[in-house]
Chain A
Amino acid sequence: MHSIPGRRIILSLFLIFLLLPIYWLVNMSFKTNGEIVSTMTLWPHKPTIANYMHIFTDESWYSGYINSLKYVAINTVISISFALPAAYAFSRYRFLGDKHLFFWLLSNRMAPPAVYALPFFNLYSAIGLFDTPWAVALAHCLFNVPLAVWILEGFVSSVPREIDETAFLDGYSFPKFFVKILMPLIASGIGVAAFFCFMFSWVELLLARTLTSVDAKPISAVMTRTVSAAGMDWGLLAAAGVLTIIPGALVIWFVRNYIARGFALGRV
């Protein structure tokens, strides 16, 4: 790639702009509330891990993380396993209504969660799934399944059709071909699709909060508890925020080599 003039400066400034607010959050999470409110310090002068200890020892706090991870995991597994065969079908075959179906799937990715909040509440209360991780996981399928189909379709299309034909000639049955040959070939695509399902389920709040009340409360809803009669507990809020960044950062590290292609939905 040809470089542009001053590229190091532009890039450094932008990365600093991205990191500075995160640094500030990390900085605050290691301070006591007294230090946060009384002085402006660029780094914690009296570093403390009390905020983190509070979260790890209070069940109502750490169960929030477990609840969030539960529905994210369920959602990712459902999305990928449902989307894989569909992606193959869209990539290889022409069938009645295929284009309309594909567009309809995509249009759900574009539906504002705010529109669905109340009807989902009614629906999941009616079938008795309200306040379980399943409700949130199924609700998130609304936008994650279409996305997974979209990404996987791009990756399946990059596998030459001759491979399918050869496998069938060699006597592979369809399920055996799918699991033994196709899935290993698009392993990076499956990883990328799983990453995106994780990402969008992890960052979404409105539906997750509407569909839970006590037992399956996600961490994002627990965080609102830091407002109390004694004022905001800033240190605790910052520590909880930092802990929500960590799973994302770990996942990015695993897919870093495929991430750019993934963001182009497997279509570059």
Chain B
Amino acid sequence: MDKTVNQKAWLLVLPVFLIVAFSAILPLMTVVNYSVQDTFGNNQFFWNGLGWFKELLDPSTDLGSRFFASLWRNLLFSGIILAIEVPLGIVVALSMPRQGWGVAACLVILALPLLIPWNVVGTIWQIFGRPDIGLLGYVLNHMGFDYNYVSNDFDAWATVVVMDVWHWTSLVTLLCYAGLKSIPDAYYQAAQIDGASRWAVFKAIQLPKLHRVLLIAVLLRFMDSFMIYTEPFVVTGGGPGNSTTFISIELVKIALGQFDLGKAAALSLVYNLIIIIVCWVFYTVMTNAGADRQANKGVA
């Protein structure tokens, strides 16, 4: 759609600009300010230049090694949950009933985990996985598995991953369900006349329609899993050892635990930058995909 040029539109956007700028730019300036200074307490600050950034990006220092360890850990975590949640979400969306009371019931149950406060999600799984009072931990241990998420690295990871699958797969499912619903019945009838197999229908009709919503799903899931803090913090507290310490947990530890403001600020900026770069790629890909679709429509 061709939009008209109208600079007065800024007046409509101004309130949003001001309220977000208040919450985004002022704090960001504080962070930048901290990141180039050092403090010895008493509110005395000293210019430290790019010192913190050099330390952060040098894996041989303490700060650098912690940053890179949590970065790889977080990337691995994001990779695993994307590999599980996206295919599972698509399969569940394809299994949804088409009409009747079942649809509403499914939607409500699916959306339920998304509306639970994140610390309560952590609490639910903390309880559910305990060998003494939790159903999951109890059953696993009685089946002969030595499952304990407090002391075993692998069990802690498995718990955090399963918790995230429980928490967020519904998001992928709901997005795909919305995409699938927008496919006109005529497409399926045509496929039936052509005698297309189930797999061919999925590949030729459903997957192309899902392309756009899947893009939103993958990137939302990447961002949110990359920023995850509360849920693993409640369940494992980042442990055992540092095995489930993701970037946000490391950051809060440095900032509010040790009160190393300079280090924390430098880490914040690099962390934010990584996310913004990914976000930029996301936005470009999405707008290009939108433009392609518009162009295709024009041809058709």
Contacts and interface: CB of A to CB of B under 8 A. Distances in A.
Contacts of B58: none
Nearest to A84: B12
A236 to B, nearest CB: 12
Given A96-B7, A112-B272, A146 B20 contact: yes
Contact of B252 (A24, A114, A122): A114
B50 interface: no
Interface stretch (B76-84, B91-99, B146-154, B236-244): B91-99
Q: Which applies to chain A's interface (DSSP): helix, strand, loop or mixed?
A: helix
A197 interface: no
A89 B13 contact: yes
Interface in A77-93: 78, 82-83, 85-86, 88-90, 92-93
A139 B227 contact: no
Nearest to B24: A108
Given A4-B91, A111-B275, A119-B27, A141 B20 contact: yes
B1 interface: yes
A142 B178 contact: no
A103 B279 CA distance: 9
Interface residues of A, number: 97
A145 to B, nearest CB: 5
B223 A110 contact: yes
A11 B95 contact: yes
Given A24-B134, A114-B252, A265 B110 contact: no
Nearest to B248: A114
Contact of B251 (A11, A115, A119, A265): A115
B283 A245 contact: no
- Which bucket holds chain B's interface residue count? 35 or more
A101 B17 contact: yes
A220 B178 CA distance: 32
B117 A253 contact: no
Contacts of B180: 1
A20 interface: yes
A203 B118 contact: yes
A2 interface: yes
A114 B16 contact: no
A117 B119 contact: no
A220 to B, nearest CB: 5
B254 to A, nearest CB: 10
Q: Which of A115, A119, A141 has the most CB of B within 10 A?
A: A115
Contacts of A237: 123, 127
B94 A7 contact: yes
B19 interface: yes
12 contacts: A2-B198, A4-B198, A94-B6, A113-B248, A119-B28, A138-B22, A145-B16, A149-B16, A219-B117, A223-B119, A248-B112, A260-B174
9 smallest CB-CB distances across A and B, nearest first, come from: A248-B115, A119-B27, A7-B95, A93-B9, A89-B12, A260-B178, A85-B12, A89-B9, A114-B248
